[in-house]
Amino acid sequence: MTSQRTRQRLIERLMDQGVTNHQVLDVIGDTPRHIFLDEALSHRAYEDTALPIGFGQTLSQPYIVARMTEVLLGAAGSVDKVLEVGTGSGYQTSILAQLVGQVYSVERIKPLQDKARERLRQIGLRNVQLRHADGGFGWPEMGPFNAILSTAAPRDVPPELLQQLAPNGVLVIPVGGNTQELRLIIREGDSDNFMTQVLEPVKFVPLLSGTTR
Ligand code: SAH
């Protein structure tokens, strides 16, 4: 299940779907996705599908992880500091951590955060800081960020996330309810003007407010 061939097939599938960034493809090919899942599901880790991680949440489909990461890297001038909203299993966090300077990741469900912390430690990623909080407010103490990636969908873009973008910073975020679209939002220089590009229809869990223990 974790064989090189299985992972290679996943990479080929991602390329067929239009993912072109080789750094992103290499990191996905090298990262053990099965450790981010409960054992009963780990045999499905290299399928290109979203999988449950408990608490009604899901680990995103590899295609969407690849796509969002590729968009973020392509649009951001620098990626010293990146904020992720919705740590979940920690899989997307681990992909980002191998491609950017420092990752800050916020999760509202404490047991998911605890598991993610253990997994990130297990694979030896040290440039990640986790916080148990409502990520709809970003992480103001650590901002501004060169890029912000949200893996949960708000109805509307939270203004706090826009405010925490550094000059020319980029926000990659799914937005909507039953129908959602993936948006790329770029801060124009150090102004309060933002350029929005709609990328594709997506289906993410909702961004919820507050936290749970
Ligand atoms: N990046 C994750 C995807 C998990 S699904 C992964 O690779 O596994 C999205 C996650 O966002 C869920 O864990 C959910 O609890 C979390 N979430 C939803 N609303 C949130 C909020 N307001 N603040 C922080 N996390 C939130």
How does DSSP assign 16-46, residue by residue?
HTT---HHHHHHHHHS-GGGGS-GGGGGGTT
Q: Tell me the per-residue pLDDT of 23-47, one tens digit each, with 9 for 90 and over.
A: 999 999 999 999 999 999 999 999 9
d(CA 167, CA 125): 27
d(CA 93, CA 129): 10
CA of 112 to the centre of ligand 1 (A): 9
d(CA 166, CA 169): 5
For the cut 80, the answer to whether the pLDDT of residue 202 exceeds it is: yes
**With bands split at pLDDT 50, 70 and 90, how would you rate the model's confidence at 1?**
low
Choice among 3, 60, 78, 150 that is catalytic: 60
What would the mean pLDDT of 91-108 be, rounded to a whole number?
98
d(CA 43, CA 41): 5
DSSP, residue by residue, 55-89: TTEEEPPHHHHHHHHHHHHHH-S--SEEEEE--TT
For the cut 80, the answer to whether the pLDDT of residue 3 exceeds it is: no
60 catalytically annotated: yes
Task: Name the amino acid, one letter, at 19.
Answer: V
Is the distance from CB of 106 to CB of 74 less than 8 angstroms?
Answer: no
Q: The tokens of 107 are what?
A: 């999760």
**With bands split at pLDDT 50, 70 and 90, how would you rate the model's confidence at 2?**
low
In total, the chain counts a number of residues equal to 213
pTM across the whole model = 0.97
In terms of CATH, what superfamily is 62-202?
Vaccinia Virus protein VP39 (3.40.50.150)
Q: Is 151 in the pocket of ligand 1 (CB under 6 A)?
A: yes
Burial class (CB in 10 A: 0-12, 13-18, 19+), 36: buried
Q: Is 69 in the pocket of ligand 1 (CB under 6 A)?
A: no
d(CA 199, CA 180): 11
**With bands split at pLDDT 50, 70 and 90, how would you rate the model's confidence at 50?**
very high
Minimum CA distance residue for ligand 1 atom 4: 88
Is the distance from CB of 159 to CB of 149 less than 8 angstroms?
Answer: no
CA of 107 to the centre of ligand 1 (A): 6
Q: The tokens of 208 are what?
A: 């919820």
Q: Which atom of ligand 1 is nearest to the CA of 135?
A: 23
Q: Is 88 in the pocket of ligand 1 (CB under 6 A)?
A: yes
Q: Is 207 in the pocket of ligand 1 (CB under 6 A)?
A: yes
Query: Following CA atoms 49, 94, 135, 177 in sequence, which dihedral angle do they give, to the nearest 10 degrees?
Result: -20
Neighbours of 16 (CB within 10 A): 10
Q: Is 134 in the pocket of ligand 1 (CB under 6 A)?
A: yes
CA neighbor of 168 nearest in space, from 188, 184, 183: 188
Please give the C-alpha separations between residue 48 and each of 16, 56, 93, 168, in angstroms, as whole numbers.
Answer: 12, 19, 18, 32
CA neighbor of 36 nearest in space, from 139, 118, 102, 131: 118
pLDDT at residue number 5? 87
